[in-house]
């Protein structure tokens, strides 16, 4: 089976979409060819996103915040918006087989307590893993 191209979009491409790309690559890279981008790229990958992924043994070395416009002319089997802002900024995508919206709250917002904030990144990571497992199953692969 040919890999399905999947674009994960959020606003800053600093946390949620970056984690989604890394999860899809690590657990479903045999059927998903993932990329991520932001409608307004932050210019960095959030350190807590990197740390949360490292807990799963996934390295995000070399990950960079990318803009959605660089992918505008590329075809994707699935485009997934992982925040309401990206869904609003990019309600359609030329060449997308289908578009899904996953309204996942930005884990970097909220109380400044370091432990609480990191717990939100873990929860976001785990929610993304669950949804990506479901996506992979819908594309013809069993969850890992």
Report the alpha-carbon distance of residue 35 to residue 77 in Å, rounded: 12
Instruction: Report helix, strand or coil for 33.
Output: strand
Residue 49, CB-side half-sphere exposure with 13 Å CA sphere: 26
Interior CA angle at 131 toward 97 and 70, to 5°? 45
CA angle, residues 48, 66, 86, in degrees to nearest 5: 80
Which tokens in the block code for residue 27? 């657990």
Find residue 4's DSSP bridge partners: 32
- Per the CB < 8 A criterion, the answer to whether 11 and 115 are in contact is no
Q: Which residues are catalytic?
A: 10, 83, 90
């Amino acid at each position: 089976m040919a890999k399905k191209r999947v674009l994960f979009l959020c606003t800053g491409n600093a946390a949620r979409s970056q984690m989604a790309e890394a999860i899809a690559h690590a657990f479903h890279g045999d059927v998903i060819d993932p990329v991520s981008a932001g409608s307004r790229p932050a210019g960095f990958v959030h350190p807590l996103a990197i740390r949360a992924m490292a807990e799963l043994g996934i390295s995000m070395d070399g990950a960079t915040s990318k803009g959605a416009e660089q992918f505008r002319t590329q075809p994707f089997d699935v485009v997934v918006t992982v925040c309401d802002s990206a869904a609003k900024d990019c309600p359609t995508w030329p060449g997308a087989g289908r578009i899904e919206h996953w309204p996942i709250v930005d884990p970097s917002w909220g109380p400044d307590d370091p432990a609480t904030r990191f717990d939100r990144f873990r929860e976001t990571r785990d929610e993304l893993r669950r949804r990506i497992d479901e996506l992979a199953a819908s594309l013809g692969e069993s969850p890992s």
